[in-house]
């Protein structure tokens, strides 16, 4: 019986907690970690199989791999960084895109049914990779003084408001940017999974009560939510990589 006395087992944070599958030296390995590991293996195996023996006339697997690779390369990287500067960043961005996307897709795959990105540690690590790359590239491109101007938005034409603008830009770029980059992905996947669980549990709950018609409505909503989540999952992968590219573009930009 739930706290509200109606018997409906409302989903909550318990939907994001998993018991360890096994423990090694005090380190607990759970379902989320397993899905993250499988994600990595699937991506490595797929692209190895697709491009390991690439042919001039591609087979079906190679065609799918090329389509995904070109989508990220031309649709995101080239559009943001240009072909000349962007080419060297394509491998990283393709890896990020498919890793984020597949981590999200697990939420609608039977037996898995959980988006890895809804555990904030994973988006934080990916955002940290982008953040460290951006900081290192900015230092390398502009040096210490140029880095300072880059992250503070230094522009002497701003006059008296320049110190305030620099302070805001400094905290925005060095503190807020990595946080929002991670939380944007995490929050969308967290909320989406919670909604899916709620409608799924509601369908089963209503089916076992006198509100059978309500169960049908809830089931339709569940199917609609799955389709919507499939769209959101792809969009979040796209946005994550697009932002990563925009940060790289900002590191390469000249500031005077």
Structural domain containing residue 147: 58-121+129-254
Instruction: Name the domain count of the chain.
Output: 1
Name 147's Cβ contacts closer than 8 Å, sequence gap at least 6: 135, 138, 139
What crossing angle do the helices spanning 79-86 and 212-252 adopt, rounded to 10°?
A: 50
| CA–CA separation, 221 and 256 (whole Å) | 54
For residues 6-22, average pLDDT: 75
Does 24 map to a domain? no
Q: 62 and 55 in contact (C-beta within 8 Å)?
A: yes
Q: What is the pTM of this model?
A: 0.88
Q: Check pLDDT > 70 for residue 92.
A: yes
Provide the pLDDT confidence category of residue 56 given band limits of 50, 70 and 90: confident
pLDDT of residue 166: 87
Does 169 map to a domain? yes
Does 151 map to a domain? yes
Does 237 map to a domain? yes
Does 52 map to a domain? no
Does 44 map to a domain? no
Condensed to tens digits (0 to 9), the pLDDT of residues 121-146 reads 999 999 999 999 999 999 998 888 88
For residues 215-228, average pLDDT: 82
Does 53 map to a domain? no
Between the two ends of the chain, the Cα-to-Cα distance in Å is: 65
Where do the DSSP E strands lie in the chain? 22-24, 27-29
Mean of the per-residue pLDDT values of the chain: 87
Does 179 map to a domain? yes
């Amino acid at each position: 019986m739930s706290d509200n006395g109606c018997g409906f087992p409302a989903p909550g944070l318990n939907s994001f907690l998993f018991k360890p599958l096994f423990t090694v030296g005090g380190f607990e390995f759970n379902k989320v970690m397993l899905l993250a590991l499988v994600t990595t293996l699937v991506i490595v195996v797929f692209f190895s199989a697709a491009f390991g023996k690439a042919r001039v006339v591609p087979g079906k697997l190679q065609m799918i791999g090329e389509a995904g690779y070109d989508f990220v390369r031309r649709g995101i990287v080239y559009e943001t960084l240009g072909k000349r500067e962007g080419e060297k960043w394509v491998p990283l961005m393709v890896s990020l895109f498919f890793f984020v996307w597949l981590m999200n897709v697990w939420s609608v795959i039977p037996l898995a049914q959980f988006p890895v990105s809804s555990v904030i540690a994973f988006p934080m690590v990916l955002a940290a990779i982008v953040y460290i790359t951006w900081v290192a590239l900015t230092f390398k491109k502009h040096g210490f003084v140029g880095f300072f101007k880059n992250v503070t938005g230094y522009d002497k034409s701003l006059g008296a408001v320049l110190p305030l603008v620099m302070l805001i830009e400094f905290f925005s770029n060095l503190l807020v940017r990595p946080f929002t980059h991670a939380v944007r992905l995490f929050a969308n996947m967290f909320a989406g999974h919670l909604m899916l669980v709620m409608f799924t549990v509601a369908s089963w709950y209503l089916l076992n009560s006198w509100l059978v018609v309500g169960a049908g409505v809830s089931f339709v909503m569940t199917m609609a939510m799955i389709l919507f989540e499939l769209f959101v999952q792809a969009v979040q992968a796209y946005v994550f990589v697009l932002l990563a590219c925009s940060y790289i573009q900002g590191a390469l930009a000249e500031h005077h």
